Structure 1
């Protein structure tokens, strides 16, 4: 009796081993599926985050890479400024002294240069994150005159006058005069007169006086106000404000 039971016991002991082997084979399938699902979730989360950043950049705050020295020393080549796109969205308008980013098509650039659509899309995405230079039609300058203002250069002391009041522009690049080219203009309503802080190194409204639009930038072409410096870390902070235009009177018949 005892000897007949031994094969049965051995058979029973071998069954779990076979089941374990088969079970381990099948257990590898869920682990692979889990890994694949994890990668998909990671990619989906990355895509959602990227879309969120682009939407935030498109409608709220956009990094903007400073490509030239036209706004020195306020802004330097390679600075990343954060452009407040909500600054003028709720009834506010650009003021004298504001540093703004704008689309210069029709004022500083008569026609947008042609480009490959795919390359343009990729470049636009990179530029919107401050990782590439802005489009050739985008500029950053300071508002010197608003609609109705009479802007004249220069008075006997070489200062720009706005509505008959001389402006002490403390933000100008060291050693630069307010302008080497004389001008006397009245800014049409709904437009802005723009100038760089590094006047001898800036192509601005002065350079487009004889062109269509007369160098005036339509207010609706303003992308936003440059409010903050985000890079490099050593320059982190707000873009310096100015009180240079505080004493300028409102435009009126006597000034226009």
Structure 2
């Protein structure tokens, strides 16, 4: 009985409160560390915040990939029907990751804002103003020398969507790489799983994940 109760509690917590995910790639370094085939950071995603507040620029989020983001994604489930059923059951109570393409990026712009273009110093423009990102972007001096990191668009983000990018700008297949899809590379807010709050493993990296108020820092009028 205690095991059943524990599984029910685990299901409720991971469905409605929060969930742990593993970082699989380098796209969010140095904020989040990961690499293909390695044991990357484990993060806690808060599923409550966006029920009461809108996503904002600066937030690090986990979201479900839409069709264009899912190209090349392969299910991690077994081909054996019985084992696959056990894996699916395990994901319900949090013992296995869900069988979906979950990605992690930072929100750069939200609905109604325009993103794209480079300032004279190589900063990305949002609503025509340079975004101040030196606090988290990977190797800012080198990043600003790469025109691919800001020389796109401009894209007007649809209401109810967000524009996302990796902190490791030169090594992140983010919104810039999906501009030809139905959302112009943006992500529907309905696809956001939650806000990344903490790194809980490895022990040497335990701590909160910074979500700066990009609009205030950059002197850009926040969207209404």
Tell me whether the two structures share a fold, i.e. TM-score over 0.5: yes
* Aligned counterpart in structure 1 of residue 33 of structure 2, from 70, 76, 80: 76
Higher helix share: 1
* Contact kept in structure 2, 1:98 and 1:225, CA below 8 Å: yes
TM-score by length of 2: 0.81
Find the structure with the greater CA-based Rg.
1
* Aligned counterpart in structure 2 of residue 239 of structure 1, from 206, 209, 214: 209
Deviations 1:68-92 (A, max 9, x none): 11100000111111100001012x1
Counterpart for residue 222 of structure 2: 250
The structural deviation recorded for 1:180 is 3.3
Q: Which runs of 5+ in 2 are unaligned?
A: 35-39
Q: Which runs of 5+ in 1 are unaligned?
A: 1-43
CA distance in 2, matches of 1:124, 1:209: 36
The structural deviation recorded for 1:110 is 6.6
Secondary structure of 2:62 counterpart: strand
Counterpart for residue 174 of structure 1: 139
Equivalences for 1:116-127 in 2 at 5 Å? Answer: 119=84, 122=87, 125-126=90-91
Counterpart for residue 190 of structure 1: 160
Counterpart for residue 37 of structure 2: none
TM-score by length of 1: 0.72
Q: Which moved more, 1:238-247 or 1:59-68?
A: 238-247
The 3 A distance-change label for structure 1 pair 75 and 148 is same
| Higher RCO (C-alpha 8 Å, min separation 6) | 2
The structural deviation recorded for 1:241 is 2.8
* Root-mean-square deviation over aligned CA pairs: 2.7
Counterpart for residue 14 of structure 1: none
Q: How many residues align?
A: 207
